[in-house]
């Protein structure tokens, strides 16, 4: 199979597409024939060496890609489902794996996958497994209740957009921060207010998907809650505000519930563009430029 890997850390130029043996699923795992795999900021961070060791040992390499959509084609021992031939989405956990989702096949824990949505194709489905659970788990950390005023930064992005939709669905009053020209999109996602700056904004809680830090914390009321989307970027607590970072974890059962919300139209998948595996470096460069209103997706 073909797979995108890195042998050293750096810019998009360090990405390679190699030929590799077909991975075999171990106990509790399934092998997925990849139809589409999202490209996330975490992939750029992993490529740059922000996770794990300072450098790779000679001869070693690492794979990239956290979220996948495709078809189950082999089951490991102890796995009764999903059955072979089932279209699934899943979160490929772990940052030190030799092969991940940016490949023609990937091995995934069986309890980290869910049946793919029926309302969209697999390219769009590949935008769900990382970003929707990240937004969902961040909202869980905040503990906001219906009627609370929630500030979401980076609200036009992938995590922020799902957060706006999930919060609106849960009965929160959503203040969405993004560029001024994103207001029509934010309203469509369900934001009660769309703002282009934090001037005068006050909220009971904040999901800082844009990782702006202290200025967002300053907009939260005393005793409120703040969650950032980047572990290691939590500002110091003040005024009794609870602060935390979301670090997404695989949860196939909850992912299935999020897929159901997508099929009901509560969540909207957005694809900015697709790239073949051979153009992974171009996709990385485009994501680094910023300004996307949807995910880039690699298609083997």
Name 109's Cβ contacts closer than 8 Å, sequence gap at least 6.
Answer: 28, 29, 30, 90, 93, 250
- Confidence check: pLDDT of 106 > 90: yes
* Burial classification of residue 49, based on how many CB atoms lie within 10 Å of its CB (0-12 exposed, 13-18 middle, 19 or more buried): middle
Q: What pLDDT is recorded for position 81?
A: 84
Confidence of residue 22 (pLDDT cuts 50, 70, 90): very high
Q: What pLDDT is recorded for position 97?
A: 82
Is 148 in a helix, a strand, or coil? coil
- Confidence check: pLDDT of 94 > 80: no
Average pLDDT rounded to a whole number, residues 155-165: 97
Q: What pLDDT is recorded for position 257?
A: 98
Is cis: bond before 237, omega within 30 of 0?
Answer: no
Query: Taking the mean position of all CA atoms in its chain, how far away is CA 27?
Result: 26
Q: Is the pTM of this model over 0.75?
A: yes
Percent of the chain residues past pLDDT 70, beyond the cut = 99
Q: Which segment of 45-54, 55-64, 83-92 scores lowest on mean pLDDT?
A: 45-54
- Confidence check: pLDDT of 192 > 90: yes
Confidence of residue 255 (pLDDT cuts 50, 70, 90): very high
Confidence of residue 299 (pLDDT cuts 50, 70, 90): very high
Q: What pLDDT is recorded for position 291?
A: 86
Alpha-carbon distance 1 to 66, whole Å? 18
Alpha-carbon distance 162 to 173, whole Å? 15
Which whole-number Å values give the CA distances from 54 to 42, 94, 246, 248, in the listed order?
Answer: 16, 17, 24, 23
Confidence of residue 93 (pLDDT cuts 50, 70, 90): confident
Is 45 in a helix, a strand, or coil? helix
Confidence of residue 55 (pLDDT cuts 50, 70, 90): confident
Is 298 in a helix, a strand, or coil? strand
Q: What angle do CA 281, 287, 291 make, to 5 degrees?
A: 155
The dihedral formed by the CA atoms of 284, 285, 289 and 295, expressed in degrees to the nearest 10: -30
Q: Report helix angle 131-142 to 158-169, nearest 10.
A: 50
Q: What pLDDT is recorded for position 25?
A: 96
- Confidence check: pLDDT of 92 > 80: yes
Q: How many CB atoms lie within 10 A of CB 177?
A: 28
Q: Where are the beta strands (DSSP E) in the chain?
A: 2-6, 15-19, 29-39, 62-63, 67-75, 87-91, 105-109, 113-115, 149-153, 173-177, 193-195, 203-208, 220-228, 242-245, 271-276, 295-299
- Confidence check: pLDDT of 95 > 90: no
Alpha-carbon distance 204 to 200, whole Å? 14
Supply 294's token pair: 């949807």
Name 108's Cβ contacts closer than 8 Å, sequence gap at least 6.
Answer: 29, 30, 31, 32, 68, 90, 91, 92
Q: What domains can be seen in the chain, in order of their start residue?
A: 2-129+250-299 (3.90.180.10), 131-245 (3.40.50.720)
- Confidence check: pLDDT of 127 > 80: yes
- Confidence check: pLDDT of 51 > 90: no
- Confidence check: pLDDT of 96 > 80: no
- Confidence check: pLDDT of 270 > 80: yes
Supply 300's token pair: 């083997």
- Confidence check: pLDDT of 166 > 80: yes
Name 51's Cβ contacts closer than 8 Å, sequence gap at least 6.
Answer: 45, 95
Supply 164's token pair: 């706006």
Confidence of residue 276 (pLDDT cuts 50, 70, 90): very high
Q: What pLDDT is recorded for position 57?
A: 85
């Amino acid at each position: 199979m073909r797979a995108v890997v890195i042998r050293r850390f750096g810019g998009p130029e360090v990405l390679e597409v190699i030929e590799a043996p077909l991975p075999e699923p171990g106990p509790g795992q399934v092998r997925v024939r990849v139809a589409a795999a999202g490209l996330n900021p975490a992939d750029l961070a992993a490529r740059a060496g922000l996770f794990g060791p300072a450098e790779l040992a000679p001869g070693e390499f690492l794979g990239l890609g956290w979220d996948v959509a495709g078809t189950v084609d082999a089951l490991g021992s102890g796995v009764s489902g999903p059955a072979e031939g089932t279209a699934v989405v899943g979160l490929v956990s772990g940052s030190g794996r030799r092969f991940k989702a940016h490949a023609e096949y990937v091995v995934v824990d069986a309890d980290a996958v869910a049946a793919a949505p029926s309302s969209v194709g697999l390219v769009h489905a590949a935008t769900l497994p990382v970003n929707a659970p990240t937004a969902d788990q961040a909202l869980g950390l905040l503990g906001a209740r219906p009627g609370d005023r929630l500030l979401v930064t980076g609200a036009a992005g992938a995590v922020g957009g799902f957060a706006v939709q999930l919060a609106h669905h849960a009965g929160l009053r959503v203040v969405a921060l993004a560029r001024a020209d994103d207001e029509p999109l934010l309203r469509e996602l369900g934001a009660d207010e769309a703002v282009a700056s934090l001037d005068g904004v006050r909220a009971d809680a904040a999901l800082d998907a844009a990782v702006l830090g202290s200025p967002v914390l300053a907009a939260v009321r005393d005793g409120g809650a703040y969650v950032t989307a980047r572990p290691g970027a939590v500002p110091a607590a003040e005024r009794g505000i609870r602060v935390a970072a979301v670090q997404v974890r695989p949860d196939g059962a909850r992912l299935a519930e999020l897929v159901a919300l997508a099929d009901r139209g509560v969540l909207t998948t957005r694809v900015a563009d697709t790239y073949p595996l051979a153009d992974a470096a171009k996709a990385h460069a485009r994501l680094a430029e910023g300004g996307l209103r949807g995910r880039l997706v690699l298609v083997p």
